Structure 1
Amino acid sequence: MKPVKRCPMLLIVVLLLAPHVAAQSIKSVEVSVYASGYAKVTEVLTPPNYSVAVEVPLLSENVTGLSVLDENGKPLLFEKNGSVLTVYILNSTTRITITYFTDSLTSKEGKVWNLTYSFPYPVTIKLPPGAVVVDLSDVPLTITSNSITMPPGNQSVSYILPPPTTSTTSSPSPTQTPTTTTTSSTSSTSPSTTSSIPSPSVTPSTTTTPSEPSTPASSGRRNLLPIIGLLAAMGIPAVAYWARNRKHPGGLPISKDELKEKLEAMGLTDEEINALLYVYDQGGRAKQADVRKALGIPKTTAWRMFKRLEEKGLVRVYKRGKENWVELVF
C-alpha cells in the first residue's frame, strides 16, 4: 500500500486564518496638559493593508477613558497589555484614533511642573494657557505659539503656571436678579431655586471625564513665553546653539566631562560610569528601566548597582507611580 500524502492545504488555510499583528504607521501624537497636571493623549495612525490587528504603544500604562475609533467614529475592539494596545480592525479601516487620559506624565517640584515621557515617535505638547517653559530636554522639532513638538526618545518639558487670578465674572448674578425678579416680592427666593437647575452648556460627561480647556487665540499667544517667543524669533540655528551651550536640562552644575573625571577618580567601574553618564544625558534623572535597557544590564544587576551608587551618595533612587527613578546627586 502506498503511503498517503498529506495535502498542505490545511496548513495554508490555518496560516491564512491566523490573526496577523502588523506594525502601525503613527501619523501624530498630541498631549494636551491641563493645569491640574492631568493630560489628554490623542494618537492617530494609519493601519497597514491586509492586517487584522495592529500594536500601538501608549505613553503610559496607567490610563483612563480609553477610546479607540475608526475613520467613521465607530468603536473598534482592542486589548491592552501594559503600555501596548492591540487594536483589531477590518481591511476597510483606513484611520484609527486613540484617546485616553493619564496623570502619570507630570510631576511637580515646588512651583515647577515637569512633563516626562519616553516614546519612539515625535510628540506634540500643548501646555495650559499662560504656561511659561523654563527648560527643555532637547531641541524641539517645531515651535508654534501654543505647542512644542519634541523628537522621539526620553524627553522632558519643565514649565511654570501663572498664579491663579480671582475672576469677577462669577459675581454679577446679584446685580442681574432685579431684572429677572420683577413679577412679585417673593421672587427674592428664586435664586435658590434657579441655582439647582443645570445650565444647558454643562453636560453630565464633563463631571467624569476631563474636557479639553478652551484656549482662545489671545491667550494662546502667551503660551510657552518667554523661551518659545525668543527661540522662534531667533530661528532654529539659534535653538540648536542654545541647546548645545546652555546648562544641561535640570540645571546640572557640572559638565559631562567634569562628571566623568570625577567618577573615574572615585574608582568606579565602566558599567557604573556609563550608567551615570546616561542619567546625565537624560537631564540628571531617568527611569531605572530605561538605563538598564540602554546599557543591556539585567534587572537584578542594575538594582544592586544603583543601590551601591546610592550608598556612595552619587544618586537618589525613588519611586514615581510604578517606576523606579534614578536622580544624580551633586
Structure 2
Amino acid sequence: MVHVSIKLYVNETYPAFSLRIIGSPAVNLLVTDSSGTLLNFDLEDANLTVYTLGVSEVYVEYDTMNLTHKEGIVWSFAVDSPVRFRVILPWNATVVELSDAPLTVTTLQDDRIMLEMPEGSQNVSYVIPPGVTDLRYEALTAIAKAQEAILKAKAEGRIEGLEDAERLLTEARDSYERGDYLEAKQMALEAYDAAEKAKQPLTQMFTRYATWIMGVGVLTVVAAAVVLRIRRRRIERIFRRHPWLDEDEKNVLKILWIKGGAAFESDIRESLELPKTTVWRIVKKLESEGLVEIEKVQGRNYVRLRA
C-alpha cells in the first residue's frame, strides 16, 4: 500500500481543474484546501475533477496498491510522473536499484530514507530485512488491542490507573513511528495489561459516602445509572445489528457514546489518534450506513449518533 500526497497551486478564479490519478484506483481519497477544508470533487476512473473557485492551494491524498509490486524479496516502486517527486521508503528498507540517480537523498528524523526523483518513468527497488514486516504487523495488532482495552475501560468508568495505560500506548506509538517494532509491541502489551487492571474509583467513593446520599441525591444517581444503561444498550444494539463493522468503525461509535452521543470530528481523531483521512472515511461510511449524521458547526464537522 502506498500513500500518495499531492500539493497543487491553482488559479483561484477558475471554478474547477482536473488531473489524472497516479496508481488508480485510489482509496481513502481526501481533497482539501490549505486550511484543511474539504473540497468537492468528482472521480471517474482515474480522472479527478476538483471544484476550486476561490482556492489557490489544493492538497490531494489517497492510498493505492498499484504503485508497488514484489518479486521474491525485492519490492519495486514504479511511476511515470510529469514532475519531480519524493519517495519515502519503509523503515529499515535498503535500496538495491534505481532507474535514475536521485536529485537528493535525505534521512528523516524517524530514520526513514526520502529520495527526490526527477520527472519521467522511474523505478525504485528495495528490500526489507526478513522478520521486520511480521514484527511490524504484530506491533500494529498489539497497539490496536491496547487502544480497544483503554476505550473499554473508559466506557466502564475504570479510570484509576488508566493514565499508565495511555502513557504506555503513546510510547508504543512513538516506538512504532521510529521503526522499533519490538519495543512498540512490548509497550503496547504493557498498555493492554494496565488498561485491563484499571479500576473504577467511584466504587470506593460511593461506599464511603453512601450514608450521605438521600432523597433527590438517590434519585439522581438512579436516573444517571438508568440513562447510562440505556445508552450502553443502544451502542450494543448497533453492534449486533451491524456485525460487519470493523474495529476502527466500532471505536468511532464508542467515542461518540462516551461523549454523550456527539462530538466534533477533530475530537474523535484526537481520542483515537488516527489520521485525518482515516477518520473522515470512517465517518462518511457510518453516515452512509445511517448510523451517524454530520452537520457543520462553525465550519467544523459535528458528528452525532442517529436515534
Shorter-chain TM-score: which interval? 0.3 to 0.5
Structure 2-normalised TM-score? 0.45
Structure 1-normalised TM-score? 0.42
Instruction: Indicate the structure (1 or 2) with the bigger Cα radius of gyration.
Output: 1
